[in-house]
Structure 1
Amino acid sequence: MEYYDVIIVGAGPSGSTLANALRNSGKRILVLDKQTFPRDKTCAGWVTPAVMDSLGIDLEEYGSSHTLQPISQFRIGMMGQKAVENDHGEVVSYGIRRCEFDNYLLDRVTSPKELGTPVKSLTQEGGNWVVNNTWQAPLVVGAGGHFCPVAKLLGNGPGSHETVVAAKEIEFEMTPEQAERCQARGDTPELWFCKDLKGYAWVFRKGNYLNIGLGREDNHKLTEHLNAFVDDMKATGRIPEDVPGRFKGHAYLLYDHAERPLVDDGLILIGDAAGLAYTQSGEGIRPAIESALMAADLIWDLEDFSAQALQPYGEAIAKRFGNRSENQQSGLQIPDWVKAPLASTLMKSHWFTRKVVTEKWFLHQEVPPLEMAQI
């Protein structure tokens, strides 16, 4: 049996960020993940400058060997209507490929890693948690996404009682012929809202890579909506007609709809395992990174890992992201006044699509950078 101070289950952005943030804390850290890296990850794949700053990533260094698509414009519309383009006059976000980005973050981690290792058992023994009868620690962090095995131990665990947003997407490298025919531009991601505002689709070009996807609250109609969107994008020349391969799916919780407890005795959830994706957009990378940094700030000097001792993390999450809504409505949190017949008109407005949809819902420009005491 190998002993650690902290075992992190999940080596994605939240797990690797936590491990890296605790590098000089004096604690022995083990990172587990069921997959090997680099890995394919279903995600549109853009990050704001706030994320890159929080991670301490040198943009020039990262971009020299990884895909880094500067974004200065957005093309936004409601399906069936003409889109509105807004030029922000500066870089407001960056396109990344998750297979590269996640691997880059994990490579920075100096702690021991056990990749390609699913959690088969997680039990308590003598005040410690024991993983796979091989590793033990007084604290286990769930960073394994929506279906994280650690999340199963808190509250009612992942299940049918949760309001889940489901998405399907594909990312592929275009041939020269496809790239020439594709009208989507790298500096201008496209967001297309469903007419009922219960989801949205996207077309996002990163150099010669193209990412296409759609996310909705009603999973049973997801494929139908996706196929209609893809057909429309092909017909209008936004994407090539010969899109290869199959669309891959994933699920996630929106922050205001998640009911998972964040801590228990010797347990803490971060990132998508905690259900932290922004309710307005479904974007989860910034909340994942920030939750990991907040967890590291608490764990740094902590020796007592009781639920009471870990509770300040939950309070920090509520302070940063707000108290979870008591009204557990399904779907993206779009204000009722937007859902009214006025919605189609608003989506034609340069002011609304820029100031509300882009800058507030997707870029969260009004949210100040995260400040940490230890990190």
Structure 2
Amino acid sequence: MERCDVLVLGGGPAGSSCAWGLRDSRLDVRVADRATFPRDKACAGWITPQVLSALGIEPEAYRKERVLQPIRGLSLARQGDLATVVDCGEVVSFGIRRSEFDHFLLERTNARLYLGDPTLDLRREAGRWVRNGELAARVLVGAGGHFCPVARELGARADGSEPATVHACEIEFEMTPAQQRACAVRPDLPALVFGRDLRGYGWVLRKGDWLNIGLGRRDGRDLPRRTDEFLTWLGATGRIPTGVARQLRRHAYLFHAESPRALAAEGVLLVGDAAGLACARSGEGIRPAVESGLLAARTIAEGIRRPPADMARAYARALLQRFGARPGRARPGLTGRLPASWRGAFAHHALTSRWFASRIVVDRWFLHRRDPALGGF
């Protein structure tokens, strides 16, 4: 049986960031993923300058061969209402294609890769994690997203039955010239459309010639009908070209503050969606994935020779310090304290207020512009 120091299960942004963070550690790092890369990964895919800074990526170098769509702000509306456009006057985010971004991150890890290789068996033996009876690792990093097998080993219920699971579906396709002319959403101002009941939001994001459309809601049972209504409304209002295919892909995630998942255990750390780290309100997953991967790398480099339980506690402390407390329940917020009959009117007035739309929704909830980049890597 082969042995290694660190085995990362999942080659997405969380797993590749962890492996990249360990590139100079002299540890034997392996990354395994059931997919081959580049993989087809539908994702809204906007990243902030802080993500590029934490990963040491120069925007101009990255965009030479890949999509890196500058974003200056957001167009906000409740479905059926007029939009409020928030133009920040400078580039505040970038649209990327996950197939390109994930492959780029994985290629620069210097780790040994096992791609197209699913994890069929995972067990703890003699102080090591053994994968498929062939590879034993001192430390296991679960980076396989919401349905990660490592998270299931720690008690996660990845079948959608966990409390506060957010269900989403989306599609991404390359537009024809005619479709590009028919798409009213500006590439530098993606559209966010909140549901009338405020239990989710949809988005339209142009990335060069590519278009990503999606919808996320807290109630997954009604997602197909809501998605169909959303796409119909987008087409009827001219926001997207008519005739867009309705074969959307589904996925799920958990907000950090509400997630019931463990963050770590002896010899194992969870990162990104495997740990349930999505940002509250926005559901953004790439930045917490990258930052948790880097924090896991730092914890491993500093603590791999310490008792495994000590390393697990150190990692959990680092995550909570970075992302905030985890009470396991949602804060009601202002709308949650209002009678149901008042919430729609409040949302309408809030989203049409340029101050609220700019300072709260865009700067604080979606782009986290005041949060500094994670340094030290």
Same fold (TM over 0.5): yes
How far did residue 343 of structure 1 move?
Answer: 1.5
Equivalence for 2:82: 82
1:205 alignment partner in structure 2:
206
Q: Tell me the residue number matched to 2:306.
A: 304
Which deviates more from structure 2 when the two are superposed, residues 303-312 or residues 40-49?
Answer: 303-312
Equivalent position SS for 1:150 = helix
Aligned partner letter, 1:317:
L
CA contact (8 A) 1:279 1:333 kept: no
Alignment correspondent of 2:323: 321
Partner of 1:100: 100
Residues 348 and 64 of structure 1, relative CA distance in 2, 3 Å threshold: same
Paired residue for 1:137?
A: 137
**Alpha carbons of 1:16 and 1:327: their partners in 2 closer, same or farther (altered >3 Å)?**
closer
Q: Following superposition of structure 1 onto structure 2, how do residues 155-174 of structure 1 map, counting pairs within 5 Å?
A: 155-159=155-159, 160-174=161-175
- 1:89-134: CA deviation from partner (whole Å, max 9, x where unpaired): 1000000011111111011121110011111111122211110011
Aligned amino acid, residue 350 of structure 1? R
Percent sequence identity over aligned pairs? 46
**Total equivalences in the alignment:** 371
Aligned match of 2:264 = 263
- What CA distance in whole angstroms lies between the structure 1 residues aligned with 2:318 and 2:185? 40
Q: 1:345 aligns with which of 340, 344, 349?
A: 349
The 5 Å alignment of 1:146-157 reads: 146-157=146-157
1:18-50: CA deviation from partner (whole Å, max 9, x where unpaired) = 101101101100100011111122310100000
- Report the CA distance between 1:242 and its aligned residue: 1.9
C-alpha separation in 2, matches of 1:317 and 1:336: 27
Cα 1:39–1:245 change in 2 (3 A) is farther
Displacement, 1:310? 2.0
Distance 2:129 2:374 in 1: 31
Distance in 2, Cα, partners of 1:255 & 1:351: 27
C-alpha separation in 2, matches of 1:54 and 1:335: 34
- The match for 1:293 is 294
- The aligned counterpart of 1:225 is 226
Could you tell me how far apart the structure 2 residues matched to 1:187 and 1:114 are?
Answer: 37
Task: Say if 1:146 and 1:158, in contact at 8 Å, map to a contact too.
Answer: yes
The Cα of 1:257 is off from its aligned counterpart by 1.2
Would you say 1:370 and 2:371 are equivalent positions? no
Taking structure 2 as the reference length, the TM-score comes to: 0.95
Aligned partner of 2:13 in structure 1 is: 13
Instruction: Give the letter for the 2:110 counterpart.
Output: T
Deviations 1:40-61 (A, max 9, x none): 2231010000001111111111
Q: For residues 172 and 228 of structure 1, what CA distance do their matches in structure 2 show?
A: 20
* In structure 2, C-alpha distance between the alignment counterparts of 1:166 and 1:128, rounded to whole Å: 34
Which blocks of at least 5 consecutive residues in structure 1 are unaligned? none
Q: TM-score, normalised by structure 1?
A: 0.95
Deviation at 1:245, TM superposition (A): 5.6
3-state SS in 2 of match to 1:4 = strand
Q: Does 1:358 align with 2:362?
A: yes
Tell me if 1:70 matches 2:70.
Answer: yes
Q: Distance in 1 between matches of 2:46 and 2:28?
A: 32
SS at match of 2:52: helix
**Are the equivalent residues in 2 in contact too, given 1:75–1:190 (CA < 8 A)?**
yes
AA aligned to 1:311 is R
Matching residue's letter, 2:98: R
2:148, 2:8 → 1: CA distance? 11
Q: Quote the residue 1:187 is aligned against.
A: 188
- State the distance in 2 between where 1:98 and 1:305 align: 36
SS in 2 for 1:212: strand
Q: 1:47 to 1:228 in 2, by over 3 A?
A: same
Once the two structures are TM-superposed, the CA of residue 353 in structure 1 deviates from its matched residue by 1.0
1:185: Cα distance to partner?
A: 1.0
Q: CA deviation at 1:337?
A: 5.7
Alignment of 1:218-257 (within 5 A): 218-244=219-245, 246-257=247-258
Separation in structure 2 between the aligned mates of residue 297 and residue 306 of structure 1, nearest angstrom: 15
Unaligned segments of structure 2, at least 5 residues: none
The letter of the residue matching 2:372 is P
Query: What is the aligned-residue RMSD (CA, Å)?
Result: 1.6
Residue 42 of structure 1 aligns to which amino acid in structure 2? A
Give the Cα separation in 1 of the matches to 2:122 and 2:30.
15
